[in-house]
């Protein structure tokens, strides 16, 4: 069972469905398709994937549609019970489980790890990235908001109206990349602008020991 924190609104009544509806806007749909195509360009087709922070399963849908992975090779993890409930309806045959990006179990491994639009909603990214790179054996693919400096913002949740603060952070891209490259076995970072302040960073790990 995942811990519930004061700055996480995902399981407040009605919030998961409200966010999921927002994700169906045309702009959001096109954004997810662009992410899926970028994952395909970086990781290829028919690859095993662990998606941390899978939400309601909409990114996974796009990955399945263009052949990046399939239900047999995909695992989705999220610490929001309401989000996972939506994902189980959308992806009834996929492996989905409660996982906390800030408390990943020891011994957990996955060839390719995805973390899409998660870290900007954390107090900071270092613990999460250390944990995710500890799990990934070949690659960690991250999508988040980046800029020229760190901007840590715990706003009044004006987006979702859950009555609790929600982090909406912007991180310095160069500092983020340097931190990832400083982790064990990481030898490269492939960086791609997706739209506005949104970038993807794919950290590659040596597999030869």
| Domain around 45 | 15-205
Q: Which of 6-10, 126-130, 160-164 has the lowest mean pLDDT?
A: 160-164
Alpha helices in 81-136 (DSSP H): 81-90, 126-135
CATH number at residue 188: 3.40.50.150
Number of domains in the chain: 1
- Is 5 domain-assigned? no
Q: Write the CB contacts of 92 (distance below 8 Å, at least 6 apart in sequence).
A: none
Residue 40 has a pLDDT of: 98
Asked if residue 115 is part of any domain, the answer here is yes
Q: What is the pLDDT of residues 14-38, one digit of tens each?
A: 889 999 999 999 999 999 999 999 9
Q: What is the pLDDT of residue 13?
A: 84
pLDDT digits (tens, 9 = 90+) for 174-197: 999 999 999 999 999 999 999 999
Q: pLDDT band at 138, cuts 50/70/90?
A: very high
Do the domain assignments include residue 7?
A: no
27 within domain boundaries: yes
DSSP state of 177: H
Mean pLDDT of 125-154: 95
**What is residue 105's predicted lDDT score, i.e. its pLDDT?**
78
* In a domain? residue 50: yes
Instruction: Output the pLDDT for position 154.
Output: 78
Instruction: Give the separation between CA 193 and CA 197, rounded to whole angstroms.
Output: 8
- Separation of first and last alpha carbons in the chain: 33
Is 52 inside any structural domain? yes
Write down the pLDDT at residue 1: 47
Residue 9 within any structural domain of the chain = no
Q: Residue 27 has what pLDDT?
A: 94
Asked whether residue 118 is domain-assigned, the answer is yes
Whether residue 145 contacts residue 172, with contact meaning beta carbons closer than 8 Å, is answered with no
Round the average pLDDT of the chain to a whole number and report it: 92
How far is it, in rounded angstroms, from Cα 140 to Cα 51? 10
């Amino acid at each position: 069972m995942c811990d519930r924190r004061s700055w996480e609104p995902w399981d407040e009544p009605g919030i998961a469905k409200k966010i999921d509806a927002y994700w169906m806007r045309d702009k959001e749909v096109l954004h997810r398709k662009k992410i899926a195509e970028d994952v395909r360009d970086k990781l290829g087709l028919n690859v095993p994937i662990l998606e941390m922070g899978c939400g309601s399963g909409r990114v996974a849908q796009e990955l399945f549609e263009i052949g990046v992975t399939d239900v047999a090779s995909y695992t989705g993890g999220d610490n929001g019970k309401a989000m996972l409930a939506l994902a189980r309806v959308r992806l009834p045959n996929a492996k989905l489980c409660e996982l906390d990006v800030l408390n990943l179990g020891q011994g957990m491994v996955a060839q390719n790890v995805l973390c899409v639009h998660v870290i900007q909603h954390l107090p900071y990214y270092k613990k999460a990235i250390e944990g995710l790179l500890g799990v990934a054996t070949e690659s960690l693919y991250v999508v988040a908001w980046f800029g020229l400096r760190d901007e840590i913002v715990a706003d009044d949740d004006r987006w979702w109206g859950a009555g609790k603060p929600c982090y909406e952070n912007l991180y310095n891209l160069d500092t983020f990349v340097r931190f990832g490259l400083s982790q064990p076995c990481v030898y490269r970072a492939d960086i791609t602008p997706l739209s506005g302040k949104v970038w993807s960073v794919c950290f590659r790990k040596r597999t030869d020991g």
